[in-house]
Amino acid sequence: MGAHLLADLLEDALPQTQCTKCGYPDCRGYAEAMAEAGQKPNRCPPGGIEGIIRLSKILQLKTESTTLSIDPECGAERPRPVALIDPKACIGCTLCIQACPVDAIVGASKQMHTVLNDWCTGCDLCVAPCPVDCISMVNVTENHTGWEAWSSKEAELARKRYHAHSTRLKREERDQILRVANKARSKLEELDSDLAQSETDRAEIERKRQIIAAALARAKTQTI
Ligand code: SF4
Ligand code: SF4
Ligand code: SF4
């Protein structure tokens, strides 16, 4: 089986919380590391022991009870929590929104923020950036942990929301580059119509022209 197909199968078996606890930027990154670089299947706390068994089967690795434990470097298997924001303490800074990989937090600048429980994967990523420490993680699955606390349906929803989030970020980045490029283009036109007479002015204008033209060329390659 090719490494790409293997990574697809492994990714399908991951919980899709996109929590980064495995040490990779997302579930896909971890799936690729297992498929292509021999990374071990015990680095995903949200999947827990059941997750190690599922991944090991796909990787055709034997699972012995002695090897069945989550790498402590990545955290521990636990009941699934959701984030809860204390409305009295929230200052509306939006840092939690920027950190959430599945866009599960709503709220505008300087307004109180709220977590949409159905979309929260319990990834913890919004907790650390909060400057007033008003986000707590609340257990919603009692003593159920790993895949006992998370369904394939929830994983699929989380994956879709993460893809929508990534597409939105790319679109916003592209729009920002285009805005800057448009400003640079106007500046270039301004310089072109400048009637500077002295040799020094002309040299300075040419220098600026070259800088702006190079920036525009870069913007073009980034938005293709
Ligand atoms: S759920 Fe978290 S730890 Fe598990 S693979 Fe995805 S990002 Fe990594
Ligand atoms: S609200 Fe917080 S814990 Fe929930 S998915 Fe978003 S970042 Fe993760
Ligand atoms: S990071 Fe904290 S203070 Fe800022 S909007 Fe989110 S919950 Fe409110």
CATH of residue 101: 3.30.70.20
Quick one: 161 and 205 in the same domain?
yes
Task: Report the C-alpha gap between 44 and 29 in whole angstroms.
Answer: 12
Report the atom number in ligand 1 closest to the C-alpha of 20. 7
In this structure, the answer to whether residues 91 and 135 fall within a common structural domain is yes
Ligand nearest to C-alpha 80: 2
Residue 206, exposed/middle/buried by CB under 10 A (0-12, 13-18, 19+)?
A: exposed
What's the 47 CA to ligand 1 centre distance in angstroms? 8
- Regarding the beta carbon of 102 and ligand 1, being less than 6 Å apart is answered no
Q: Alpha-carbon distance 180 to 174, whole Å? A: 10
- Would you say the CB of residue 21 lies under 6 angstroms from ligand 1? yes
Helix (H, G, I), strand (E, B) or coil at 123: coil
Is the CB–ligand 1 distance for residue 17 below 6 Å?
yes
**Statement to judge: residues 176 and 158 lie in one domain:** yes
3-state DSSP: the chain helix, strand, coil percent, rounded to 5? 50, 5, 40
Ligand 2 binding site (Cβ under 6 Å of any ligand atom): 83, 99-100, 102, 104-105, 115, 120-126
Domain extent for 53: 3-74
Mark whether 156 and 202 lie in a shared domain: yes
Which residue's C-alpha comes closest to atom 6 of ligand 3?
96
pLDDT in tens, the chain (224 residues): 788 999 999 999 999 999 999 999 999 999 999 999 999 999 999 999 999 999 999 999 987 765 689 999 999 999 999 999 999 999 999 999 999 999 999 988 778 789 999 999 999 999 999 999 999 999 999 999 999 999 999 999 999 999 999 999 999 988 888 888 788 778 777 777 766 566 777 788 788 878 888 877 877 777 66
- Among candidate residues 58, 74, 90, the one where a domain is terminated: 74
Tokens representing 157?
């929803």
Q: Are residues 157 and 145 in the same domain?
A: no
pTM of the predicted structure, to 2 decimals: 0.84
CA atoms within 13 A of residue 14's CA, in its CB half-sphere: 30
pLDDT at 218: 79
Same domain, 142 and 156: no
Number of domains within the chain: 3
Which residues are near ligand 3 (CB < 6 Å)?
85, 90-96, 113, 129-130, 132, 134-135
CATH code, domain carrying 17? 1.10.15.40
Residue closest via CA to ligand 1's atom 1 equals 17
Final residue before a domain boundary, out of 150, 180, 211: 150
Closest ligand 3 atom to 93 CA: 4
Specify whether 144 is located in the same domain as 157: no
H helix or E strand, kind and range, residue 169: helix 152-192
Residue ending a domain, choose from 88, 122, 150: 150
